[in-house]
Structure formats: structure tokens, C-alpha cells
Amino acid sequence: MSDRRPEKVTIAEVAKRAGVSTATAGRVLGGYGYSRQEIKERVRQAAEDLGYRPNLLARGLITGKTKTIGVVAGDIQSPFYASILRGVSDVTRMAGFGILLTNSDEQIDREIEAVQLLREKQVDGLIVAPSDLVQASHLHAAVRDGCPVVLIDRVVRDLKADAVCIDNQAASRDCVMRLIEAGHRRIGLVAELERWEGGNVQDFLSAAAGGSIDASTLFPSWQRFYGYLEAMRASGLPVDLDLVGRVGLYSVDGARKETRRLLGRQDRPTALFTADGLMSAAAMDVITSLDLQIPRDLSLICFDDLDWMSFIRPGIAAVVQPLIEMGETAGRLMLSRIGGDESEPQRLALQPEFAPRGSVAAPPAA
């Protein structure tokens, strides 16, 4: 039996079978121009009989559309991005669009490379989780060239593009207020807090107190830190920066180290707020290793709701992000822009839910 693949059926062969010109067959199969209904049916039937498959890139050269959307995710292994991508895919697939997925690993050079690759593939638009919120010249260039861009999870300063994010600041403020209302005064924070152009945590605290920070263009971990500061300030509590565990990078080992530092103190915090799923998993590892009981010895609230948080007993209180909704919203915005919507860019901040469970109680007696 021959291993040779059958030769690809051409438009010329379809046209010959349908009894029309090659140009007419191209218009029908490409979905552009005018042809009578009877001609359309003959061409489509001929294409089906021959097993014709369209050359989307060639059609894109004619129509200017490839029916594909490029997505640049920060980490395609993360459940966070997997849920967002599901939402994007569900919406765009219904409109007949495919997705080309790339991964940046939260590194700007890889993101630039991914955007360049996708634009060379002539995608109709870009959905990006940006790793540079200040410059992002590659995204500014895409917008200038007329390529629709929708941002997810973060906003790039001064970029004229739609964005779909979570109201991180308000959600974190609510979490810390819940701990304060339960009686806690020493509340630890474990967060990435990797990049902020203004300096260190003390600089951020000063800038936040002075109202000089545009929270909308911060990375999510800094927005969540901002919410933490707002809750403490609204309750008249001093902010002890020794209780802020700045991991500095997205690292399990780093998060474990900071959690161990906080919980190893003689005057350790009575409650802990972790700013994302990875920080939460690392913190739980340390809490377990120290044989601390939740919530008897330590109250805990986590940002991001992971499966294990509802499986263990007691369950862990968590912020539940509407990730599929975020992806669906980004997909709809993209389809609207591809369809010709030229209205002002939208910045949408979706509201997460809070799952209380059983990890918060009054602080232990001194």
C-alpha cells in the first residue's frame, strides 16, 4: 500500500466539476463577491464531492481576513489561563474563528516574538496577557497598523485597546476587611510583587498614601497589595511592612521562603492573605509543615479558588475569579472590533465572588 498522500484538490478542479470559471469558484469558496444561489450550490457540491479544503492563507490575501485570532498567554499550563482560553474559544468558535495559541512565560522578549509570529500568520486580531505595562511598543505598533488588540488580566498604559480584567483591588480590600472584622490585627500578605517601576514596597506604601498611583495599570499582585493597604488604612490599623511577604517572582520556592519567614516570627501574624493560587499552594505547604491548624492557629484567605480548597477540611476561603467569563468577554470584544467597531476602547473590570468556607475565625488568645 502506498504511503503517498493524495494531492491537494485545487480550486481549478472544483471549478471544472461545477462547470464555472476558476474566479467564480474562488468567490464562492472564499465567501466574497457575488454569485447566484444556483452557482453557489453547484460549486459547494463539487467541492464536497472532491474533498476540497480551502487555503485560508490564500483566501486571507484576497479578503484581508484569515478567520483566526492570535492569543498570547502568560503560562499555558496554568489553570488560570486554561479557563480564560476556554471562554475565548467558546465565543470565537461559534463565529467561525480559530485560535492560534502562543506562550510568553511572562517574559517580554518571548511575548514580542509571539506577537511577531502571529502577525506574520496574518491573524485578524490579538488577545494578549501583557508582560510589559509601561512600554509595550510591539502592541502599540499592532494597534497603529490596524490590528485589533484585546488585553486580558492587565492594562498597558496609554494603549488604545480594549481590556478585560478583574477588580483585584476591591476584592482584596474585601478579603482583608473580613479578617479585620473577625478580630485580626496582624495580617500577613504573601504576594509576587515582582515589578513596579516606582521602587520598593516602602515607596509603594508612600505613593499609595499620597494618592499618586494609577491602580488600573498595575500588575494584579500590586493591585491586591493596594487593596490590602486600603483595608488596613480604612480600619485605622498601622501597616507593618515586616508582615508583607514580597516574593519578587512567580516562584513556589520563593513563596515558601516568605511564608516560612512570616510564620516563623515570634509575633507571627494571626491571619494570612495570599495573593494568587501559586502563593496559596506554597503557603499551605508551609502551614502543614509547621503543624499549624486552620483556623485555630491561623486564619487564611486566598485569592484564586483552586480545586483542593474545597476538598480539604476545613475548606479554604477564596476569591473566585470569573475566568471563563473573562475569556468570553475578551472574545466578544475581539469579534466586535474585527467586525468594524471603531468606538472608544473599553476597560472592563469584572467582579469576582467570595467563597467563605471555614478558614476564618477569631484570632487565638495571646
Distance CA 172, CA 182 (A): 16
Percentage above 90 pLDDT, the chain: 66
Q: What is the pLDDT of residue 102?
A: 94
The pLDDT tens digits of the residues spanning 35-55 come to 788 888 888 888 888 877 766
The pLDDT tens digits of the residues spanning 108-153 come to 999 999 999 999 988 999 999 999 999 999 999 999 999 999 999 9
Q: What is the pLDDT of residue 59?
A: 56
Q: What is the pLDDT of residue 18?
A: 84
Q: Which of 5-19, 98-112, 239-253 has the lowest mean pLDDT?
A: 5-19
pTM attached to this predicted model = 0.82
3-state helix, strand, coil in the chain (%, to 5): 45, 15, 40
6 has a pLDDT exceeding 70: no
* One fold for 11-63 and 168-322: no
Q: Cα 124 from chain centroid? A: 20
Which CATH fold topology does 168-322 show? Rossmann fold (3.40.50)
Check if the beta carbon of residue 28 is closer than 8 Å to that of residue 43.
Answer: yes
Beta-ladder partners of 188 = 272
Distance CA 175, CA 306 (A): 16
Is 145 exposed, middle or buried, given 0-12, 13-18 or 19+ CB atoms closer than 10 A? exposed
358 has a pLDDT exceeding 80: yes
Check if the beta carbon of residue 172 is closer than 8 Å to that of residue 303.
Answer: yes
Percentage above 70 pLDDT, the chain: 94
In the 8-state DSSP scheme, what is residue 166? E
pLDDT tier for residue 155 given thresholds of 50, 70 and 90? very high
Distance CA 356, CA 316 (A): 7
Distance CA 278, CA 250 (A): 8
Q: Which residues contact 90 (CB under 8 A, 6 or more apart)?
A: 324, 327, 328, 331
The domain spans of the chain are 11-63, 68-166+323-350, 168-322
Q: Tell me phi and psi for residue 221, to 5 degrees.
A: -65, -35
Average pLDDT across the chain, whole number: 89
Domain 68-166+323-350: which CATH class? alpha beta
12 has a pLDDT exceeding 90: no
75 has a pLDDT exceeding 70: yes
Range 11-63 has CATH code 1.10.260.40: yes
Q: What is the pLDDT of residue 172?
A: 97
Nearest to 357 by CA among 170, 178, 173: 178
Mean pLDDT of 346-357: 94
The pLDDT tens digits of the residues spanning 228-244 come to 999 999 999 999 999 99
pLDDT tier for residue 56 given thresholds of 50, 70 and 90? low
pLDDT tier for residue 16 given thresholds of 50, 70 and 90? confident
Q: From the CB of residue 337, how many other CB atoms can be counted at a distance below 10 Å?
A: 20
211 has a pLDDT exceeding 90: no
